[in-house]
């Protein structure tokens, strides 16, 4: 088992609905540790750069608009197999397909506003963490 870091982002709908503490309890009860966390309001440019992989998809503009609609909480999680473990905790991207007991299964209503983002690979985790955090911020 490898100790890994992964990025977690609690999206504007999670912050607006005041469920960030509940989401954090899912993370912490899974034996992942939050080692860095900050609230921020993404600029349009930041959202476009962060989600650049989706720039040619039909939902890109809607995604950027949503991600800049309110504050987000970005976090770095650490633990054994953190990337895959957090993806399991989040549940399927479409909340209708997410199992109960997952963040999306318990809290999300819509695929476009599904409460959380998590890195999908170790390589992307490194890139995404560096996008939001300096190494000195990772305790």
Catalytic residues: 117
Is 87 annotated for ligand binding? yes
2 near 56, Cβ under 8 Å? Answer: no
Which one, of 139, 135, 138, 98, lies nearest residue 116 by Cα? 98
Is 115 annotated for ligand binding? no
Is 104 annotated for ligand binding? yes
Is 126 annotated for ligand binding? no
Which one, of 39, 28, 25, 27, lies nearest residue 73 by Cα? 39
CA distance 106 to 87: 15
Is 59 annotated for ligand binding? yes
Strands 72-80 and 3-10: antiparallel
Annotated binding site for ATP: 11, 59, 87, 93, 104, 114
Annotated binding site: 11, 59, 87, 93, 104, 114
């Amino acid at each position: 088992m490898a100790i890994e870091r992964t990025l977690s982002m609690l999206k504007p709908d999670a912050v607006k609905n005041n469920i960030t503490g509940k989401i954090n309890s899912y993370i912490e009860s899974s034996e992942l540790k939050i080692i860095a966390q900050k609230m921020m309001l993404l600029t349009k440019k930041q959202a476009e750069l962060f989600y650049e992989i989706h720039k040619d998809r039909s939902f890109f503009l809607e995604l950027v608009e949503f991600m800049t609609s309110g504050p987000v909480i970005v976090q770095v999680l650490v633990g054994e197999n953190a990337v895959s473990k957090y993806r399991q905790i989040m549940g399927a991207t479409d909340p209708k397909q997410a199992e109960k007991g997952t963040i999306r299964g318990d809290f999300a209503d819509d695929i476009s506003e599904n409460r959380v983002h998590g890195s999908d690979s170790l390589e992307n985790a490194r890139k995404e963490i560096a996008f939001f955090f300096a190494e000195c911020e990772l305790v």
